[in-house]
């Protein structure tokens, strides 16, 4: 079976490696050129990994149209930033997207952020048919994952990458043995969340509890960072019990940490540092370009 893997650096690397180990190495990888290292967890550029495996790699916008003249049997999407044309989808026998949520809930480009911000108990991965409506096609495979109390977006992306690889291998095996048979999504239960904006990553400690504020920080960690009281922060250093300070008050600050009062206590937070963060606006811009599909 000829497989065209449409994927970006990150989850795409884990899926590519799993397919190769399973003897289902893609015939072509379609991706983009990244402007810097992947900021959520350490991983090489997927184009470099594809080259090591001897797989042709298409990175320019519109280059995927070459597949119309040399079609693949299965288009497999595992995080991608462009809508695939209907003409290209129709050229393959199967077209499947691997989405990092329990569809029909959390349709949209960055469910990692929203499930953490909303303090969900679980999330997962859904492999579904690619259709004109994003994230709405019939479900072929679904796996569930419990969220840890200290889950960050980086850690969640890594764990869902492993599950996405499992889904990819299962889909390829099913497509090899016959037609893919899916179940329709329950559209009445569907929820959609947009690409997080810079304002979505700003949190007011005067209005939030410790748990609410930490959910927002973990949803933005390790990248692009959360904005708390005008400071870019990425994690928790310590919690302290209730104090006489007013919620929102900055109690202490140094180069690495900020101590801030919230509704039900005090949090000592780690400031962002390193090449991927810089100013608040830079972090928000890089984060926006990096969120998938």
111-117: average pLDDT = 98
Band (44; pLDDT cuts 50, 70, 90): very high
Summarised one tens digit per residue, pLDDT across range 192-229 is: 999 999 999 999 999 999 999 999 999 999 999 999 99
Question: To which residue do tokens 């299965």 refer?
Answer: 74
117-146: average pLDDT = 97
* Ordered structural domains, the chain, with CATH: 3-189 (3.40.50.170), 199-290 (3.10.25)
75-96: average pLDDT = 95
Residue scoring higher pLDDT (125 or 284): 125
Quote the CA–CA distance of 215 and 60 in Å, as a whole number: 37
Instruction: Inform me whether the pLDDT recorded for 124 exceeds 70.
Output: yes
Band (288; pLDDT cuts 50, 70, 90): very low
For the chain, give the percent of residues with pLDDT over 70.
93
56-76: average pLDDT = 93
Instruction: Inform me whether the pLDDT recorded for 12 exceeds 50.
Output: yes
64-77: average pLDDT = 94
Q: Answer yes or no: are the C-beta atoms of 143 and 163 closer than 8 Å.
A: yes
- Amino acid 274: pLDDT: 61
Q: Answer yes or no: are the C-beta atoms of 32 and 79 closer than 8 Å.
A: no
């Amino acid at each position: 079976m000829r497989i065209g893997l449409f994927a970006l650096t990150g989850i795409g690397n884990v899926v590519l490696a799993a397919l190769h180990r399973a003897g289902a190495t893609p015939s072509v990888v379609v991706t983009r050129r990244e402007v810097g290292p992947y900021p959520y967890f350490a991983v090489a550029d997927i184009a470099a990994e594809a080259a090591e495996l001897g797989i042709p790699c298409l990175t320019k916008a519109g280059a995927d149209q070459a597949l119309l003249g040399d079609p693949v049997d299965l288009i497999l999407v595992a995080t991608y930033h462009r809508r695939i044309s209907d003409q290209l989808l129709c050229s393959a026998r199967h077209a499947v997207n691997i989405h990092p949520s329990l569809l029909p809930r959390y349709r949209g480009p960055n469910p990692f952020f929203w499930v953490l911000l909303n303090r969900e108990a679980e999330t997962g991965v859904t492999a579904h048919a690619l259709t004109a409506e994003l994230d709405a096609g019939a479900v072929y495979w679904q796996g569930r994952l419990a969220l840890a109390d200290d889950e960050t977006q980086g850690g969640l992306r890594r764990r869902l990458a492993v599950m996405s690889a499992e889904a990819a291998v299962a889909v390829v095996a099913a497509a090899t043995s016959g037609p893919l048979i899916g179940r329709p999504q329950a559209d009445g239960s569907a929820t959609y969340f947009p690409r997080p904006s810079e304002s979505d990553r700003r949190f007011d400690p005067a209005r939030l509890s410790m748990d609410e504020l930490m959910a927002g920080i973990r949803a933005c960690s390790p990248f692009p960072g959360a904005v708390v009281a005008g400071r870019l922060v990425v994690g928790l250093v310590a919690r302290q019990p209730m104090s006489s300070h007013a919620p929102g008050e900055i109690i202490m600050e140094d180069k690495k940490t900020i101590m801030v009062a919230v509704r039900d206590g005090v949090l000592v937070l780690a400031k962002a540092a390193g090449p991927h963060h810089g100013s608040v606006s830079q972090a928000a811009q890089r984060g926006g370009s990096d969120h998938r599909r």
